[in-house]
Structure 1
Amino acid sequence: MRGERSGRRRADPAVKALGAEPINPEDKPIGAWTALRDLAGVVGRSGAPQLHARVAGALGLTLAGKGLGVLAPLALGAAVNRLAEGQSTGATVGLSFMALAIGWALIRFLSSATPQLSDVVFAPVRAAAQRKTAAETFAHALNLSLDFHQTKRSGALSRTMDRGSRAVDFLLRIIAFNLGPTVVELVLAAAVLGGLYDWRFGALAIAVVAIYAVVTFGMANWRLEHRRAMNAADTEAAGLSVDALLNYETVKSFGAERRAAESYDRALETYVSAALKANGSLAALNLIQAAIMNVGLGVMAVMAGFEAAAGRMGPGDVTAAVLILISLYQPLNILGFAYREIRQSFIDMEEMLKVTRQTPQVADAADARHLPRPADARGASLAFEGVGYRHDARANGLEDVDFTAAPGTTTALVGPSGSGKSTIVKLALRLLDPQVGRVLIDGQDAREVTQESLRRAVALVPQDVALFNDSIRANIAFARPDADEAAIWEAAEAAELADFIRALPNGMDTKVGERGLKLSGGERQRVGIARALLADPCILILDEATSALDSRTEAAIQKTLRKARAGRTTLVVAHRLSTVADADQILVLKAGRVVERGAHHELVARVGGEYAALWRKQTRGARTRTAGEA
């Protein structure tokens, strides 16, 4: 039966040969329509208040503003015509002109005010969509598997998410309330010019806009590579700066401040060079756009002048025709900028969508169950059945690993570096899934239970404990945010940390700094132990959990950990064999295989065994050090 079940879990041979499960290709292009569909989906699930009413109201106000923008010049034109026609009846003409002029000013004010009102109405929707995008991308990135985060730069990923969320806000504002309404305004302006005056006026307006758009789009596409280069250089500079700042201790230890600063400066130099090219091409584009618009205005003025001279148009009609074209050109100025920024925003959004389209290698099954806690305080069993896993960056991996850690027992993993101990830990935590075989917790396949419930049952104290830049209290309570003060102090006491905390001026409220670097290595490890104990797991994994402690503190912690093992199953990774001599079973790994197993006294007694050789080497070294000190 075990063979049949294990067989169903075996990986595809091609996958096994590669050493990793396939992931979605990052470089697959994402089209504009796909991005727009995603944009509409984000708006729909944004949770903005009165979503549908706000969208409809904002669009209505914007379209009304465009219509009023075309009507305003007609009112002024009528005023000028009235003034020109009735020079002999001064008072009447003056009142009529004043009324029309006031009407023109009012209509013009309304056409300017409606977009502002539209922005106020729609702003909560944009803000909610931007927040939703950022939150979903961040959550998705956190849920991605270990392989993704091991190959990504934190600074570059952060910049990608930031630019992508801002792109959502920009696209919503520009596409819905600038480009679409501008097309409506063009149609209205052409209809008014052709209907009231001459069809050639409408044709001229459309022709000028078409030439302007073709030139703008063509040059914007040419400039796109400059913007891509700017983005790449900006991302590289951000990644270098964040890497250096996060690892400043390493930088300073090797006196590499100048090298780090020079690398950052070179990245900025590349960015500046790309930015200068982009700005130069932008200036050329603006000059060409201005030339097209002013030639169009000149031709319109000449045509209107000839029509007025022939008596077919009044002076007010000439004014209205020119003003309509000028009012049409105002959004066209934005069109050039909008097209450039829309293309750039699509690039930014594309980079973000590549992150959200990554599929985690480790994910909950559709029918994943909750892992129940054992009814009694015995801990949970942990079993590896024929497990195989190979990283694509390594020549060797785990092969046919079989062992069972019974509830309440301690299993130790020993062996040289690179033998597979850390991989077993990651498989037990389900940070990785086995490519062959399966991992069982209390008889349940780890792939068939939810990750959340599994990681509530399993707690890890790593060799290098990572802490948040927050208080000691917050870092201990991270394992169980609902824990009360008494429980936090109890965990600190168990980790031999309480006296140290009481001696601090700010006690539990002491900030530990970036990654906990204000604390010593031993203090960080004790915080990690307290955090794991507060989680009250069924399975406790100690990955060299006392390696950074002095001998006296290590002895105290080992005594505490022995107490903490009661009612828990413990998996211990150790290089110092003396720390695991009391383990119920010891697994000796070499090149990804379990080459020996048994209790300490059994393994030491084996002539020519791996464990016995390691024990003799370590105890001989300890005796040598003791003799030297004497």
Structure 2
Amino acid sequence: MLSGQGESLFEYLFQILWRNLAQRLQADMRQDTYEHAQRLDMAFFESKSSGQLVATMNDDVNQLERFLDGGANSIIQVVVTVVTVGAVFFVLSPLIALLAFTPIPLIIWGAFFFQRKAGPLYSDVREKVGDLASRLSNNLSGIATIKSFTSENREAERLRDASEAYVDANRRAIKVSSAFIPVIRMAILAGFLATFTVGGMMALNGSLNVGAYGVLVFLTQRLLWPLTGLAQVIDLFERAMASTRRILDLLEVPITVKDDSTTPLTQPVHGEVTVDNVSFHYATSGVGVDGIHLHVPAGNTLALVGATGSGKSTLIKLLLRFYDPENGRVLIDGQPITEVSMNSLRQSIGLVSQDVYLFEGSIRDNIAYGKPDADEAAIIDAAKTAEAWSFIEMLPQGLDTPVGERGVRLSGGQRQRLSLARALLKDPPILVLDEATSAVDNETEAAIQRSLKRIAHGRTVIMIAHRLSTIVHADEIVVIEKGRVAERGSHSSLLAANGHYAAQWRVQTGEAQAGDMEVLSR
């Protein structure tokens, strides 16, 4: 009874200490993996699916935790049992000890054999888990498109295919790992029979004390029986190792755009931007920019126009150091951005993009995202400047209105205005507008244009726009074609030059002349 209470006490301590240790390790592993992923280059995220990354940081880490929670402890218990019980065996009867230990080398050999066989199979299982997570993530994000095209049945079938691929991968792995169980049981049975038979004969002829024989029979069970669970432990181990390899592969992805400098931009930041003979090409497509030179004096507005894929957004990514140029350099107030800290650089730039991303939470949370300690007066002022306050104050919960995942509860124009308010509250000396009005209605565009007239005062603004009516007041307009500067000047000078910009202006204003479409298609 006393021993049972002691065993219960130790079991309780195991549950508290060991399992909490497993939880701590998996939490730290997930945090380290996520923090490393945040520092990776944008090129990495453009080549990897979010579902695969979520599967690695969540499901793979959970697989490791499951092994640490139970399997690792079982291995420790088996080793301790074999050592302690084996010592008693050799004291009482070295011969029976050798017989009892005979199955163990076979079991260990079998464990390594099946480990080599099962390892690649479980790696495939983890890959299929990532594929399944990607499919689910993509479908749920695009549910409106699926419904509008009445593709529910087709997408359900595609999900079924991904799910069946996961089931098949698991089936192949289970087929191999399950074969290990009868090998262990047969080896253990052989050890039991050898101990019973030889020990019984020794007890009958008097070479072994009957009491010692009874102890050895009991100890044989204590020695070999825990090994029956080794197959499940090896299965957990292989799943955990497949997941661990995926986690380590992610942790080993190199960071190309490195934040090596601790030097901040010289304060105050005036906002002078220089793009000095910059060239850059994407590794996958080969497109990019070649020999671009731009200079934006502090407080001026620069507009970039050109066809889709001409290189406009690439210049913005280089300014934000999402990528580093192959040649040339980008400077702010005369300081190369590669020689200042990433935090200092990006704190000085506010980005409002065409694809607005709002985080799940309230309107207040999203506006204050770049400045979490902002007071309500500053938040309201930013919303008014972005002409967002008029619709916010009409909402029943005002600033505390939930926006839903990715802002799904708001209209496109409302999301765009909140994105502008978020950038304004940050109060950056450089404001970048990447197609900020391309997806909004005329009323919203007019509101944003009114905002920009106030915002641009004393601030450097870089705009990318297809609607030329939004940039007529820019200090300089640069036309980008196939990664190079084709034209530059003010709105009036570019119209007078009668080139690509003038042709596009006439098309957009309904004054197109013969040959304008030919010019635009070149």
Farther off after superposition, 162-171 or 387-396: 162-171
Q: 1:453 to 1:415 in 2, by over 3 A?
A: same
Number of the residue aligned with 1:71: none
Structure 2 spans left out of the alignment, 5+ residues:
514-522
Q: 1:308 to 1:106 in 2, by over 3 A?
A: farther
Task: Find the structure with the greater CA-based Rg.
Answer: 1
Q: Please point out which of 574, 588, 594 is paired with 2:465.
A: 574
Number of the residue aligned with 1:615: 505
Check if 1:233 corresponds to 2:128.
Answer: yes
Q: Please point out which of 202, 225, 229 is paired with 1:334.
A: 229
With structure 2 as the length reference, what TM-score do the two structures score? 0.93
Check if 1:259 corresponds to 2:154.
Answer: yes
**Residues 384-438 of structure 1: CA distance to partner in whole angstroms, max 9, x if unpaired?**
0010011123343200110111000001101111111010111111111111100
Number of the residue aligned with 1:31: none
Q: 1:179 to 1:373 in 2, by over 3 A?
A: same
Do the aligned residues in 2 keep the contact of 1:373 with 1:538 (CA within 8 Å)? Answer: no
**Residues 294-317 of structure 1: CA distance to partner in whole angstroms, max 9, x if unpaired?**
221121111111111112333332
User: Aligned-pair distance for 1:170?
Assistant: 4.4
**Residues 159-199 of structure 1: CA distance to partner in whole angstroms, max 9, x if unpaired?**
11123433443454567644345334323322211212x21
Q: Please point out which of 412, 418, 427 is paired with 2:318.
A: 427
Q: Please point out which of 163, 172, 179 is paired with 1:268.
A: 163
Q: Please point out which of 166, 179, 188 is paired with 2:84.
A: 188
Check if 1:372 corresponds to 2:263.
Answer: no
Partners of 1:282 and 1:350 in 2: CA distance: 19
User: Aligned-pair distance for 1:557?
Assistant: 1.9
Q: 1:525 to 1:621 in 2, by over 3 A?
A: farther
Partners of 1:548 and 1:227 in 2: CA distance: 45
Do the aligned residues in 2 keep the contact of 1:217 with 1:339 (CA within 8 Å)? Answer: no
2:179 is paired with a residue whose SS is helix
Partners of 1:394 and 1:156 in 2: CA distance: 23
Report the AA paired with residue 334 of structure 1: G
Number of the residue aligned with 2:520: none
Do the aligned residues in 2 keep the contact of 1:380 with 1:442 (CA within 8 Å)? Answer: yes
Partners of 2:8 and 2:89 in 1: CA distance: 21
Matches within 5 A, 1:123-522: 123-170=19-66, 172-173=68-69, 177-196=73-92, 198-365=93-260, 367-374=261-268, 379-522=270-413
Check if 1:601 corresponds to 2:492.
Answer: yes
Check if 1:529 corresponds to 2:415.
Answer: no
Do the aligned residues in 1 keep the contact of 2:81 with 2:222 (CA within 8 Å)? Answer: no
Partners of 2:128 and 2:23 in 1: CA distance: 28
Number of the residue aligned with 2:518: none
Partners of 2:213 and 2:394 in 1: CA distance: 86
Aligned-residue sequence identity (percent) comes to: 37
Report the AA paired with residue 588 of structure 1: V
Matches within 5 A, 1:558-573: 558-573=449-464
Matches within 5 A, 1:43-82: none
Do the aligned residues in 2 keep the contact of 1:190 with 1:203 (CA within 8 Å)? Answer: no
2:497 is paired with a residue whose SS is coil
Structure 1 spans left out of the alignment, 5+ residues:
1-104, 624-630
Q: 1:257 to 1:446 in 2, by over 3 A?
A: same
After TM superposition, the runs of 4+ consecutive aligned structure 1 residues lying more than 6 A away are: none
Farther off after superposition, 612-621 or 245-254: 612-621
Do the aligned residues in 1 keep the contact of 2:429 with 2:459 (CA within 8 Å)? Answer: yes
Matches within 5 A, 1:53-132: 106-107=2-3, 110=6, 113-132=9-28
Partners of 2:62 and 2:472 in 1: CA distance: 57
Do the aligned residues in 2 keep the contact of 1:216 with 1:289 (CA within 8 Å)? Answer: no
Partners of 1:343 and 1:281 in 2: CA distance: 11
Do the aligned residues in 2 keep the contact of 1:190 with 1:201 (CA within 8 Å)? Answer: no
2:370 is paired with a residue whose SS is coil
- CA RMSD across the alignment: 2.1
Partners of 1:334 and 1:302 in 2: CA distance: 25
1:372 is paired with a residue whose SS is coil
**Residues 344-400 of structure 1: CA distance to partner in whole angstroms, max 9, x if unpaired?**
2111011011111112222211x331123327xxx4111100100111233432001
Do the aligned residues in 2 keep the contact of 1:380 with 1:539 (CA within 8 Å)? Answer: yes
Do the aligned residues in 2 keep the contact of 1:412 with 1:587 (CA within 8 Å)? Answer: yes
User: Aligned-pair distance for 1:489?
Assistant: 0.9
User: Aligned-pair distance for 1:211?
Assistant: 1.4
Report the AA paired with residue 503 of structure 1: M
Do the aligned residues in 2 keep the contact of 1:476 with 1:530 (CA within 8 Å)? Answer: yes
Do the aligned residues in 2 keep the contact of 1:189 with 1:202 (CA within 8 Å)? Answer: no
Q: 1:559 to 1:260 in 2, by over 3 A?
A: same
Farther off after superposition, 221-230 or 537-546: 221-230
Partners of 2:172 and 2:283 in 1: CA distance: 40
Q: 1:551 to 1:174 in 2, by over 3 A?
A: closer
1:189 is paired with a residue whose SS is helix
